[in-house]
Each structure stands twice: as structure tokens, then as C-alpha cells.
Amino acid sequence: MVKVFNFDDNPNEFSANTYVIGKIGYSCLVVDIGSTKRDVTDYIDTHYEKVVGVLLTHAHADHVRGLPSFLRHFKYDIPVYLSPEDKPLLTDPALNVPTMEGDKNLLLNVDTTDIEDGEELTFKNTKVLVIHTPFHTQGSVCYFFEDDNALFTGDTLFKGSIGRTDLPTSTPETISSSLKKLSSLSDYLVIYPGHGGISRIGIEKETNPYFKAALED
């Protein structure tokens, strides 16, 4: 089961989508936690036994700013997974692109576990494949939950678009190679992006101009 928290319509808090994945009544995983509100923690407290991991697609402020309060809320250690290329963003506001006035000096002294392209993370009965897709940031990744037919794409792939490539650690020259990695996945695979609504790989191949251009490159 995937629970979607979308903050696009909240003008007081610019935060990326947060996703909670897991069977109700058992443990769960969380993808990105930009919100500082209690919506996500209240939902987890009501529906799950425990959080077994936080998976960060990258380390821009709108995807990580809620991490300290989220970790403090729970009275046990929760591993946080992040590509090592994006670790410098956690402690450098010049790189993590804060947009809210209160985040201008965002410094997150959070321990993270390194992940790498092609690595398979295992959480009890859940397996998650890490797919390194740099261009929005050097350390951007997608997380593939095969059993849930779900791909969490962060700011790599949106419904009808892709993430920006003009930010401090962006590498626009790797757009095509990163998107081509995703093109090999099933057309029926559901994508859960960092912003906006969900879609499917097949739909994006046919309608997303950036995805189409990458496949033609």
C-alpha cells in the first residue's frame, strides 16, 4: 500500500510529496519528508507499528526539511538512506536550495546510510532497488518497489515533465542517460514523483516531451 501526502496546494509550506509504503498494521518505509507538519507522523502512529527506513531521493530542502522533527518524533533509531553525492547538500544552504524564509540557513546534521546504483535494499519482506538518476542533483535516485509496482522518482521524472537542471549541483548533460535507465522498466509501472500527480512509465514515454527526447537521443 502507498499513502500519498501531497503539499502542492499548501501556500504556507513548500514541500515535496511524501510517501508512506507498507501493509497497514505492520512496519512502513517513508520516501522523502519535506513537511514539518504532523500529518505524516500522525498517520504513521495510527496505522503502523514502526518506521524501518527513510528513503531520500535527493537532498534539496523541500524533500528533507522535515527530517529532524520526523526523527525526533519517534523514540527509536530510523536509518536514513541517501546517495553520498548528495550528502554535502544537507549542511550547505547554498546547495540545498531553501525556498521558505525559515529555511535560509538549513543545516541537517543527520547520519545517513550510503546507497549506490543497482543496490537492493531489504526490509523484512520488502525489497527496494536503487536506480541512480543524476541530473537534477548529482546524487538523485529513484526507488523501485517491484512487489508494489511502484517507482518513486523524486525530481527525476514528473507527470509530463522533469526536474530543473539549473541548480548548483545539476548535471544537465546526464538527462538522457538517466531517463533511458527508466525506459527499460515496465510501461505499467506506476511512478510517484516528488511533485504533482502519479503517472505510468508507458504514459510518460508517449506524452512527456523530455522523456521522448531522451529516448530519441
The 10 Å Cβ neighbour count of residue 213 is 13
pLDDT value at position 196? 93
pLDDT value at position 100? 59
Q: Output the pTM of the full model.
A: 0.95
pLDDT value at position 104? 65
CB within 8 A of 50, min separation 6: which ones?
A: 27, 28, 76
25 touches 49 (CB < 8 A): yes
How many residues can be counted in the chain? 217
- Torsion angle in degrees (nearest 10) through CA of 184, 185, 191, 193: -40
Type of residue found at 197: G
- Residue from 162, 144, 140 nearest 60 by CA: 140
58 three-state secondary structure: coil
In which residue are the cell numbers 500529518 written? Answer: 39
Distance CA 60, CA 90 (A): 8
pLDDT value at position 128? 97
Distance CA 130, CA 143 (A): 5
Q: Provide the mean pLDDT of the chain.
A: 91
CB within 8 A of 134, min separation 6: which ones?
A: 85, 140, 171, 174, 178
pLDDT value at position 107? 67
Cell of 71: 526523527
pLDDT value at position 152? 98
Instruction: Give rounded-to-5 percent helix, strand, coil for the chain.
Output: 30, 25, 45
- Residue from 128, 127, 140 nearest 177 by CA: 140
| Phi/psi-derived region of residue 65, left when phi > 0, alpha when psi is between -120 and 50, beta in every other case | alpha
Show the low-confidence residues of the chain (pLDDT under 70).
11-12, 99-105, 107
